[in-house]
Amino acid sequence: MSKQLRLILGDQLNAGHTWYKEKSDDVLYVVAELHQEASYTRHHVQKVCAFFAAMQAFAQALESAGHRVLHLTLDDTQDFASLPELLTHLFSEHNISHFAYQLPDEYRLRTQLAQFCESLSVTSSVYDTEHFYLADEQLSRYFKRDKRHRLEHFYRKMRSEFNVLMVDGEPQGGQWNFDSDNRNKLKAADLADIPEPLVFANDVTDILARLERHQIKTIGQADKQLLWPVNRVQAKDLLTFFCQHCLPSFGRFQDAMTGKLIELGEDRGWSLYHSRLSFAINAKMLSPKMVIDAAIAAFEQSQGTISLAQIEGFVRQIIGWREFVRGIYWANMPQYAQLNHLQAKRALPSWFWNGETKMRCLSHAITQSLTYAYAHHIQRLMVTGNFCLVAGIAPDEVDDWYLGIYIDAIEWVEMPNTRGMSQFADGGIVGSKAYAASGNYIKKMSDYCGDCAYKVTETVTDSACPLNALYWHFMQQHHAQFASNPRTKMVYSNWLKKSDEDKQAVLERARQVLENIEQL
């Protein structure tokens, strides 16, 4: 009979956790597919398959290492409406006297388990996940509720504290940030050099059958051979592939977008030079430190083929942005989930669920997301996110879409990126300005505009890029909020130079776009 039950959630697949250093017949590890987790939002089918496959692989690995493991599928848990109901049943069935779990990274689950433990007749204990650079208890030193925080300040502190790309207490290369060197557009001559992505062929036939059997509603394209890594070996292989084939050009093209490779029948355009490690890291198959150490080792051994600008851009995403948004999330929840600073209320257009829009940038980003459960950060921020921002889409609807569609979307990382960085719904807690842009930004960073039904160089005609008028409409609508912001003063200066007649024409075009948003 087991005396202790240790719960392992689907995003807690950390083989290096201290839990697993010792084996005991008195400890039962439970890994369970749950209806509540498969259904709290409408997930991409590949996202559900990836988590369930990774959970199964982790359970098998623990069992092979000599631990006692109970792996439960949806078939096994179908009679339990919630995690507490399942745990209560297991406590009785296995004569459990002590319950242990690792701190969930989602407020929803952390609250649910904390409340559950308050009513238990058995003892309980909670552990840190031992995954992030900053332990859970350290976050309050860096982040305060409702206070505006800036990534650059936090990033420098993290680099210094953990001695990452530092030399004698100073940043390697003499500067902290090489972002200005990492904004290149992919030209036609660059496309042939983009590496074919490393993908996997994990059989998820049984999982797909379970999802159908239990009527789990999903979105996106399903495939019996899942391309994402579902175990530590595959995740490490993907990390090695990134360091060897993508990191040399990662920073240079990290903001670039292209639709040309699809036209050529290629499938490299969705991955480009990005690591695609976010699912493996967020599920904790890889630790951020392992990823950073491997990338820096590749940089140091590259003999100049990987420049400092490339590695710094990647390090900033992992030790900077990822840890930063986690701190924002925990400092401000649960109120953060209700913030709507700009009072956006419009419904999300139905074509966000099928990609059927004449706007090339949005069609490409959405279709790619539905196909691969993935889009890189600029597609998320400056294409789909920018449209939602300037069109005034309700942040609840934007949140729900982002949380469901992406393979790596767990609320702690999704919400500050979406509600904060992308939609400015937090009023500036995350970012110092709203990341609104006209079609000119898309033209600058992609090749979408040349193939678009709309003309990016026009603003008020019926064939004008909708983003152009929507951008000016957004800036005019929120004049009081942004006019004094140093980063947007020039925008308002340009707007004020327009004649009243020109301004009215722009606003009228925006009104027409918003009235016909479903037909764009």
Q: What is the CATH number of the domain that holds 75?
A: 3.40.50.620
Asked whether residue 171 falls in the same domain as residue 312, the answer is: yes
217 and 322, same domain (yes or no): yes
Tell me how far CA of residue 83 lies from CA of 33, 79, 89, 109, 158, in angstroms. Answer: 10, 11, 10, 9, 36
- Rounded to whole angstroms, how far apart are CA atoms 127 and 125? 7
Query: Residue 439's domain is classified under what CATH number?
Result: 1.10.579.10
For residues 328 and 355, membership in a common domain is answered with: no
Residue 217 within a domain: yes
Q: Which of 241, 327, 329 is nearest to 277 (CA)?
A: 241
Q: How much is the pLDDT for 303?
A: 87
Q: What string of pLDDT tens digits covers the 520 residues of the chain?
A: 569 999 999 999 999 999 999 999 999 999 999 999 999 999 999 999 999 999 999 999 999 999 999 999 999 999 999 999 999 999 999 999 999 999 999 999 999 999 999 999 899 999 999 999 999 999 999 999 988 888 899 999 999 999 999 999 999 999 998 877 777 899 888 988 999 999 999 999 999 999 999 999 999 999 999 999 999 999 999 999 999 999 999 988 999 999 888 765 667 789 999 999 999 999 999 999 999 999 999 999 998 899 998 999 999 999 999 999 999 999 999 999 999 999 999 999 999 999 999 999 999 999 999 999 999 999 999 999 999 999 999 999 999 999 999 999 999 999 999 999 999 999 999 988 889 999 999 999 999 999 899 999 999 999 999 999 999 999 999 988 887 777 777 788 888 888 889 989 999 999 999 999 999 9
Pairing of the two strands 27-32 and 68-72: parallel
Q: Are residues 354 and 328 in the same domain?
A: no
Q: Are residues 158 and 274 in the same domain?
A: yes
Residues in the chain: 520
Task: State whether 94 and 175 are in the same domain.
Answer: no
Note whether residue 341 is domain-resident.
no
In a domain, 340, yes or no: no
> Which domain-ending residue is among 301, 332, 363?
332
**Residue 387 and residue 438 in contact, taking contact as beta carbons nearer than 8 Å:** no
Instruction: Indicate whether 362 and 474 sit together in one domain.
Output: yes
Asked if the structure places residue 186 within a domain, the reply is: yes
Tokens, residue 461: 């005609």
By CB atoms closer than 10 A (0-12, 13-18, 19+), residue 499 is exposed
Peptide bond into 334 cis (omega under 30): yes
For tokens 């400890």, what's the residue?
27
Number of domains in the chain: 3
**Domain of 282: which CATH number?**
1.25.40.80
Does residue 247 contact residue 300 with C-beta atoms inside 8 Å? no
Residue 226 lies in a domain: yes
- Distance (Å, whole) CA 70 – CA 86: 13
Burial 402-412 (b: 16+ CB within 10 A, else e): bbbbbbbbbbb
Angle, nearest 10°, between helix axes 45-64 and 205-213?
Answer: 120
Measured between alpha carbons, how far is 50 from 174 in angstroms, rounded to an integer? 41
Do residues 274 and 375 share a domain? no
Nearest to 100 by CA among 196, 8, 12, 16: 8
What dihedral angle (degrees, nearest 10) is formed by the CA atoms of 232, 234, 237, 241?
A: -130
Q: Which of 90, 112, 127 is the last residue of a domain?
A: 127
339 in a structural domain? no
Question: In terms of domains, do 18 and 109 share one?
Answer: yes
For residue 417, give its domain range. Answer: 350-516
Q: Would residue 174 count as lying in a domain?
A: yes
289 and 164 within one domain: yes
19 and 164 housed in the same domain: no
Q: What are the beta bridge partners of residue 380?
A: none
Residues 6+ apart with CB under 8 A from 456: 439, 440, 442, 443, 449, 465, 468
Q: Examine residue 141 and state whether it is found in any structural domain, yes or no.
A: no
Q: For residues 484 and 449, state if they share a domain.
A: yes
34 near 77, Cβ under 8 Å? yes
How much is the pLDDT for 266? 65
Domain boundary among 300, 332, 364: 332
- The answer to whether 199 and 230 have CB atoms below 8 angstroms apart is no
